[in-house]
Amino acid sequence: MFKWKYRGIYPPHNKNTQCSVVRRLPTPFEVHIPMQMHSGKAAVPAVKPGDKVMMGQLIGEMGGVVSSPIHSSVSGTVKRINDRDSVTGQKAVSITIESDDQQTLCPDIKKPSVRSLQDFYDAVRDSGAVGLGGAGYPAAPKLAIKNLDELDYILINGAECEPYVTADTNTMVADALHVYVGVKLLLEFMRPKKICICIEDNKVEAIKVMQETFAYDDNVDVCVLPTMYPQGERKVLVHNITGRIVPAGARLADVGVIVTNVTTIAVFARYIRNGLPLIKKVVTVDGPVVGNPSNVLAPIGTPIRELFDFCGGFTTEGPRKIIMGGPMMGYAVPSLDMPVVKTTNCLLAYPESSTFHPPATACIKCGRCLSVCPMRLMPPNIETAFSQSNLDALNHYNVNMCVECGSCAYICPSKRPLVQAIQLSKERLWLFKQEQKAAEEARAAADTKGVNR
Partner 1 sequence: MSEFEQGRNLTVSVSPHIRAKITTSRIMLDVLIALVPAFIASIIIFGTRAALVTCVCVASCVIFEWLFEKITKRPNTIGDYSACITGVLLAFNLPVTIPLWQAVFGSAVAIILVKQLFGGLGKNFANPAITARIVMFLAFSVSMTNWSSPYEGTSMWIYPIDGVAGATPLALMKNGNFDALPGILQMFLGVRGGCLGETSNLALLIGGIYLMIRKVITWHAPLTFIVVVFGFSALLGQDPVYHLFAGGLFIGAIFMATDYVTTPQTNKGRLIFGIGAGIFTVIFRIYSSYPEGVSFAILLMNILTPYINKFTEAKPLGSVKK
CB of 318 to partner 1, least distance (A): 4
Question: Measured from the CB of residue 82, what is the shortest distance to partner 1 in angstroms?
Answer: 22
Q: Which stretch binds partner 1 (CB under 8 A): 148-156, 198-206, 239-247, 445-453?
A: 239-247
Rounded to whole angstroms, how far apart are CA atoms 41 and 65?
8
Q: How many residues does the chain have?
A: 453
Give whichever of 140 and 328 is closer to partner 1, judged by the CB atom: 328
Q: Which residues pair with 266 in a beta bridge?
A: none
Q: With respect to partner 1, which residue has the nearer C-beta, 314 or 432?
A: 314
Using alpha carbons, select from 195, 184, 199, 210 the residue that is nearest to residue 154.
195
Q: Contacting partner 1 (CB under 8 A), which of 235, 270, 281, 342?
A: 235
- Burial state string for 5-31 with b = 16 or more CB within 10 A and e = fewer than 16: eebbbebebbbbbbebebbebebbebb
By CB under 8 A, the residues from 312 to 331 that bind partner 1 are 313-314, 316-323, 327-331
- Residue 136's alpha-carbon distances to 285, 342, 378, in angstroms, are 20, 8, 27
Using the minimum distance from each CB to partner 1, give the nearer residue, 89 or 107.
Answer: 89
Count CB-CB contacts under 10 A for residue 155.
27
Question: Which residue stretches of 228-378 are H helix?
Answer: 234-242, 262-274, 304-310, 368-372
Q: Is 444 a residue that touches partner 1 (CB under 8 A)? A: no
Q: Which of 177, 248, 442, 444 binds partner 1 (CB under 8 A)?
A: 248
* CB 204 within 8 Å of CB 173: no
Residue 182 or 374: the one with the smaller Cβ distance to partner 1 is 374
CB of 326: closest distance to partner 1 in angstroms? 9
**Stretch near partner 1 under the rule CB under 8 A, chosen from 43-51, 186-194, 334-342, 437-445:** 334-342
The residues in 160-179 that bind partner 1, with binding defined as CB under 8 A, are 163
Closest to 170 in 3D by CA, of 45, 263, 298:
263
Site string for partner 1, 180-219 (x = CB under 8 A): ----------------------------------------
Peptide bond into 299 cis (omega under 30): no
Examine residue 243 and tell whether it contacts partner 1 (CB under 8 A): no
Whether residue 25 contacts residue 124, with contact meaning beta carbons closer than 8 Å, is answered with no
Question: Does residue number 375 form part of the binding site for partner 1 (CB under 8 A)?
Answer: yes
**Among 288, 358, 347, which Cα is nearest to 317's?**
288
Instruction: Report, in Å, the least distance between residue 381 CB and partner 1.
Output: 8
DSSP lists the bridge partners of residue 91 as: 85
* Candidate residues 46, 66, 363, 393; the one interacting with partner 1 per rule CB under 8 A: 363
- The phi, psi pair for 3, rounded to 5°, reads -80, 105
Is residue 280 classed as helix, strand or coil in its secondary structure?
A: strand
Of residues 284-313, those binding partner 1 (CB under 8 A): 305, 308, 313
> What is the rounded CA–CA span in Å between residue 175 and residue 189?
22
d(CA 58, CA 66): 17
Stretch that binds partner 1, among 150-158, 209-217, 394-402, 431-439 (CB under 8 A): 394-402
Q: Which is nearer to partner 1, 34 or 327 (CB)?
A: 327
Q: Between 118 and 420, whose beta carbon lies closer to partner 1?
A: 420
Q: Which is nearer to partner 1, 297 or 336 (CB)?
A: 336
Judged by CB under 8 A, the stretch of 64-72, 174-182, 267-275, 355-363 that binds partner 1 is: 355-363
Which one of 334, 353, 434, 436 is in contact with partner 1 (CB under 8 A)? 334
| Nearer of residues 128 and 379 to partner 1, judged by Cβ | 379
Among 364, 438, 442, 444, binds partner 1 (CB under 8 A): 364
Contacts of 147 (CB under 8 A, 6+ apart): 253, 254, 256
Which among 277, 319, 266 is positioned nearest to 299, based on CA atoms?
277
430, 437 in Cβ contact below 8 A?
no
Closer residue to partner 1, CB minimum distance, 209 or 421 = 421
118 vs 355, beta carbon nearer partner 1: 355
Paired with 221 in beta bridges are 196
Residue 386 contacts partner 1 per CB under 8 A? no
Does 141 bind partner 1 (CB under 8 A)? Our answer is no
Size of the site for partner 1 (CB under 8 A): 72
Q: Do residues 372 and 8 lie in contact, with contact meaning Cβ atoms separated by under 8 Å? A: yes
How far is Cα 120 from Cα 269, in angstroms, rounded to an integer? 10
Name which of residues 413 to 432 contact partner 1 (CB under 8 A). Answer: 413-415, 417, 419-420, 423
Question: Closer to partner 1 at the Cβ: 19 or 366?
Answer: 366
- Is residue 16 near partner 1 by the rule CB under 8 A? no
The residue among 246 and 266 lying less far from partner 1, judged by its C-beta, is 246
Determine if 85 is a binding residue for partner 1 (CB under 8 A): no
Q: Which residues lie below 8 Å from residue 190, measured CB to CB, with a gap of 6+?
A: 117, 120, 143, 148, 151, 154, 258
